[in-house]
Amino acid sequence: MDETSKIENMLVNNALILIIEDEPEIAEIIGTYLSREGFRIVTAGDGTIGLAHHLRLRPDLVVLDIKLPGQDGYEVLATIRRRGDTPVIMVTALAEDLDKLQALRIGADDYVVKPFNPLEVVARVKAVLRRTVARDSEQMLRVGSLTIDPQAYRVEVEAAAGPVTLGLTRTEFRILAYMALRIGRVFERSELVDACLPEGEALDRTVDSHVSNLRRKLAAAGADGLLVGVRGVGYRLDNTYGQ
């Protein structure tokens, strides 16, 4: 398996899923089945809380009910789309073709009708994530003056004298590329351990050591301030860096 495929698998297997569903039993069922597959789960019982979670946590995918108190699922989906391209799977009791077309027109990535088999939801989540991650990982990733090429396994910083290629270890590259595919999101140390570190290095302090080395190399190449620590949580790539 090449490095790009490994990064894709890491992103899918460690994805954060936001479930916006006002029926606690249904939210619990979906969350339980997704958790069994290794996904990290956060839930919201209405659209307002769901949108707050989406803005703060930057989930990898949203499972969204249409019939919600207050803002309905269509309104929530429209707001998510104005913010970006987070994949969204609609889950609803509505089965009319017009309802499906409305959701797809606004920008839903898939649609599941209640009553459903929870395993079907899991399969849809995996399929949408793999399509999204495969699309993103084929592209050059740019953060300020930094360019990451997942295909060539190369990282460059654009400096005044020309591009500077960083000499990163495999783990440092994985951490940087993993975070760059979800720019602006805060990554907990435990997630970076699970996603990017080889077995035998699964300690939070080991992540801190790799990140410290990575920050030192970025700073030496003129990209100081790109990779920042978030007290008590972990790390993020500053998406305002270089702007």
Q: Average per-residue pLDDT in the chain? A: 84
CA distances from 212 to 39, 91, 168 (A): 27, 42, 12
Helices (DSSP H) in 37-115: which residue ranges? Answer: 47-57, 73-83, 97-106
Q: What is the pLDDT of residues 147-168, one digit of tens each?
A: 888 777 788 888 777 788 899 8
pLDDT at 64 over 90: yes
pLDDT (average), residues 33-51: 94
pLDDT at 243 over 50: no
Q: How many residues does the chain have?
A: 243
pLDDT at 237 over 70: yes
pTM of the model: 0.65
Give the per-residue pLDDT at 9.
Answer: 65
Q: What is the pLDDT of residues 174-214, one digit of tens each?
A: 888 888 877 778 888 888 888 787 765 666 678 888 999 99
Least confident of 37-46, 194-203, 211-220: 194-203
Q: Which pairs from 144-152 meet CB under 8 Å and 24+ separation?
A: 144/223, 144/226, 144/238, 144/241, 144/242, 144/243, 145/222, 145/223, 145/241, 145/242, 146/180, 146/218, 146/223, 146/226, 146/241, 146/242, 148/176, 148/177, 148/180, 150/3, 150/4, 150/7, 150/177, 151/4
